[in-house]
Amino acid sequence: MLQFDIEVTAANTETRTIEGVAVPYGETANLGGTTYRFERGSLKPARDRTPLLLGHDRNRPIGILTELADTETGAIARFHIDNGPEGDLALAQAASGSRGGLSIGAEIVKETYDADGVANVTEAALLEISLVAIPAFAGSSVTQVAADADEKSVQDLAAKNETPTPDPTITTEPVQEKLDMSTTEPIAPAIIPMIIAEPRPTLNADNYVTTMVRAMKGDHNAMRVIQAELDVIDTAAIIGLVPDVYTREIIGGLSENRALAQNVRNAPMPAEGMKLYKPEWTATPVGGWIDEEDPTPSNPITIGNHEVNILQWAYGVSMTVASLERGFGVAESVFRQIILSYYAAIETKIGDAITDAAGTETAGLDLTGLGLLSAAVYQDSGRRPDKVYVSPDVWAAFLATEGSLPFTQGNTNAASIAGNIAGLDVVVSGVFDAGTMIVADSSVIELRESAPLQLRANVVGTMQVELGVTSFASFDVELVTAVKIAEPA
């Protein structure tokens, strides 16, 4: 929203109207390093009713815009002021000049830049106008207190390219000229409140990145778009970070194979640190059956730490600015492929962790072997297994065995192959070596990973852009006795 102060030209306490120049045409105002100039006819109300506020406070409406018309010098606005203490205060302050400025609140719809970098606003949607104390432009003060109930309408003034005639009884001298400057320190110029929030465009990850590249190259309009996006998600301090909304948009459109990640226990990643320290029994309490008069048995117990390393995964692709800006969907395509690579790396890491932790049992790759592995898990750990992890060839062998498998379900889809045998959920993954069958209690296998993934885009040279993905993950098997792998005789 663009906000800056302009002048009030009339305040009528009898008819309860305030009149002023809503936007002065041809004058410039600076905001955040960008200079703006409104062209004639650029200001249009965004809604049927445009409120007049006190100091841009949406909880202090004092009236409503009744007329808005163009002249050669600016758009003239007239407001009807509400009855009540706030309305009375507004009329009194507008008439006295203590709150003698108007400040628009508008969204820029169209603008062009001239050779001097001035943003010429050709279309803006007016959302509200406020009565304020300090105007942004020279001479922006109350020039008339109208007492005639039959005063001209702003449409009449616009037709004749007139502006309201100043009342000679109202002084228009700037306050600074009345100060005795010989005995005071120099006065710093007032900081005029000016706010711009461009309408948030419909972006995807690809054109967000290209907009960010233009911003890094000095494009003022692109800078405002990116700043608006970062303000919303509060990531302005992280240079080059693509907002989560675009990351989720990409991930939501992927049919990734995350069979293992979705079938182990997931836990949140801590905000900082590269190690996890989990409490672990090193000597457990041991009790026993005793007679009524015997002393209670006791033994020393200790609890130690179980350390888990947090690993970082990263990948980056460098390309020219030209290829990024000219290629439709290039950035999003690169991000998609990097994310798929990350998911594949996660699957491999989980498969390795499960395989490395599993104790071996002599068992065939059939229903009898499945029963032997399940019994071994229960005997050694006291845990009932709920998963059987198999390589694709083992799953195919089970499917080919007629009449011997008590299936409850079995299916394939774009993301995974799944089924259920004898109460165990089947998890098929190509990361396992051929001939692999592992039975486990999945709750003892823990995955932590950054969520969401961090997508980054940075200008790394005059004509180069680097797109990358980073993440952190940990893989922990907390009870190795609850994981058994078949070792054929």
Query: Strand (E) positions, 213-337?
Result: 265-267, 275-283, 302-309, 311-320
d(CA 234, CA 246): 14
Give one DSSP letter per residue of 31-74, joined into a string: ETTEEEEEPTT-EEESSS--EEEETTEEEEEEEEEEEEEE-SSE
Q: Are 68 and 100 in contact (CB under 8 A)?
A: no
d(CA 262, CA 88): 65
- End-of-domain residue from the set 174, 196, 230: 174
Query: Closest by alpha carbon to 201, among 235, 232, 240?
Result: 232
Q: Is 160 within a domain?
A: yes
Q: Is 282 within a domain?
A: no
Q: Is 362 within a domain?
A: yes
Q: Is 197 within a domain?
A: no
Residues of the chain with pLDDT under 50: 137-152, 157, 163-164, 166-201, 232-237, 404, 408-409, 412-415
First-to-last alpha carbon distance for the chain, in angstroms, is 75
Q: Is 247 within a domain?
A: no
Report the pLDDT value the prediction gives residue 481, as an integer from 0 to 100.
92
For the purposes of burial, counting CB atoms within 10 Å of the CB of 210, is it exposed (0-12), middle (13-18) or buried (19 or more)? buried
For the purposes of burial, counting CB atoms within 10 Å of the CB of 168, is it exposed (0-12), middle (13-18) or buried (19 or more)? exposed
d(CA 221, CA 193): 19
Q: Indicate the DSSP class of residue 176.
A: G
Residue 155's CATH number? 3.20.16
CB neighbourhood size of 161 (10 A) = 10
Report the pLDDT value the prediction gives residue 230, as an integer from 0 to 100.
62
CB neighbourhood size of 61 (10 A) = 16
Lookup result for tokens 């059987």: 388
- End-of-domain residue from the set 117, 149, 174: 174
Q: Is 356 left (phi over 0), alpha (psi -120 to 50) or beta?
A: alpha
Report the pLDDT value the prediction gives residue 58, as an integer from 0 to 100.
82
Query: Closest by alpha carbon to 370, among 459, 439, 318?
Result: 439
d(CA 342, CA 256): 10
Task: Give the chain's largest Cα–Cα span.
Answer: 112
Report the pLDDT value the prediction gives residue 158, as an integer from 0 to 100.
55
- End-of-domain residue from the set 117, 146, 174: 174
d(CA 400, CA 378): 28
Lookup result for tokens 């922990």: 476
Q: Provide the whole-model pTM.
A: 0.56
Q: Are 89 and 180 in contact (CB under 8 A)?
A: no
Report the pLDDT value the prediction gives residue 8, as an integer from 0 to 100.
65
d(CA 465, CA 458): 6
Number of folded domains that form the chain: 2
Cis peptide before 279 (omega within 30 of 0): no
* 3-state SS class at 197: coil
Q: Are 250 and 339 in contact (CB under 8 A)?
A: yes
Q: Is 144 within a domain?
A: yes
Q: Is 482 within a domain?
A: yes
Q: Is 286 within a domain?
A: no
Domain interval for residue 320: 309-486
d(CA 278, CA 456): 32
